[in-house]
Amino acid sequence: MASSSPLDYILRAPEKHLRAALRALCTKDEEVRDRLVKYLRYIEAHNPAVQQNTRPSASIPVQAPVPRIPQISGDVYSCLHCKVKYFDSLNKLGVCCYHPGDLEINKAASLWVDWYQKGAWDTPENKRDYPEGFTYTCCKKGGDQPGCKEDQHHRDTDVAVITTKLPSASKTSAHSMPLKTIKLETQSNKRKRQGGDDMCDVRVCERCKSTFSEKKNINGVCQWHPQELELDEDSHVCLKKWRKKSRKKKKKKKKKKKKKKKKKKKKKKKKKKKKKKKRKSKKKRTRVIMRNNQEERP
């Protein structure tokens, strides 16, 4: 017999074993527990609970209790905008909340004050891990703020789609659910598809504080004020090169200052020497005049 897949093994397991496994996972891992609670609340919110059993009268025959199974039909898809898994049968207006615009760098955020040593700013990793340093172009809100537009979910054909058919309350058993293959897309494939191989050669411009690659570094791309930095080029400048240039300029300025100080000191010394000579010559003259006056007296 062929070896069964892990999903088949889970589907064949009895309900008691599954409950025990879920309980053990939820006690150890808080993330699994929170995700499970959110998923259950989502299903309960969109599927009203079965009405409570009323007391049967003598004339009405008693029926067996209906099992409490969510009445959901259809496949599970991933939304293109909010990246949330949803059922096709529960897709309505107002369920999806997202931002139609793109994320751009918020230069006024305190996150970027000491970021020069860490590398580039405008990267997908920073957008995912530090959304407070970005703003949306649609509403100018922070990257960690909820969506500004409400709509229904739309399918994302490029992302993994899990298609399952949930059992109904009457006929189907737990082992008769048809499954389809899952198409996964890694981050490297996504970058290749979007032409993002140049992200490895991303650098930060010192003037306009934007990211750039050397291939796309052309004259006229950088927009900056020439009063801040004394540079003549119009293209982006790498931080390392700019720092080297700035250090050289600082050294030249220091040398010029030292030379000026030395010249000033020399001038002062010359002036002092001249003054001393003048004083000595005056004293000699006065002495000679005094002697001549004494000799002329009878």
Give domain status of residue 186, yes or no. Answer: no
Say if residue 272 is exposed, middle or buried (CB neighbours under 10 Å; 0-12, 13-18, 19+): exposed
Give domain status of residue 236, yes or no. Answer: no
Domain span at residue 15? 1-35
Number of folded domains in the chain?
Answer: 1
| 222 touches 235 (CB < 8 A) | yes
Taking the alpha carbons at both ends of the chain, their separation in whole angstroms is 152
Give domain status of residue 210, yes or no. Answer: no
pLDDT at 39: 84
Say if residue 90 is exposed, middle or buried (CB neighbours under 10 Å; 0-12, 13-18, 19+): middle
In the numeric block, the tokens 């599927």 are attached to: 47
pLDDT at 226: 54
pLDDT at 189: 61
What whole-number distance in Å separates Cα of residue 254 and Cα of residue 256? 5
Q: Per-residue pLDDT for the chain (298 aa), expressed as one digit of tens each?
A: 445 677 778 878 888 888 888 888 888 888 888 888 888 888 888 765 443 443 444 444 444 444 444 444 556 788 888 878 878 778 888 888 888 888 888 878 888 877 776 777 788 888 888 888 888 888 888 888 888 888 888 887 644 444 444 444 444 444 444 555 555 555 556 555 555 444 456 777 777 777 777 766 777 677 665 544 444 444 555 555 556 677 788 888 888 888 888 888 888 888 888 888 888 888 888 888 888 888 776 6
Q: 267: which 2 tokens?
A: 């001038």
pLDDT at 98: 87
Query: If we measure between CA atoms, which residue out of 101, 285, 283, 122 comes closest to residue 203?
Result: 122
Helix (H) or strand (E) holding 267: helix 239-296
If DSSP codes are grouped into helix, strand and coil, which group holds residue 28? helix
Torsional sign, CA 189, 179, 5, 41: positive
Amino acid identity, position 244: K
Q: 114: which 2 tokens?
A: 């000491």
Cα–Cα distance list, 7 to 16, 96, 175 (Å): 17, 29, 11
What whole-number distance in Å separates Cα of residue 171 and Cα of residue 165? 13
What whole-number distance in Å separates Cα of residue 261 and Cα of residue 266? 9
Give domain status of residue 7, yes or no. Answer: yes
Give domain status of residue 29, yes or no. Answer: yes
Give domain status of residue 5, yes or no. Answer: yes
Give domain status of residue 16, yes or no. Answer: yes
Give domain status of residue 273, yes or no. Answer: no
CA angle 217, 221, 224 (to 5 degrees): 120
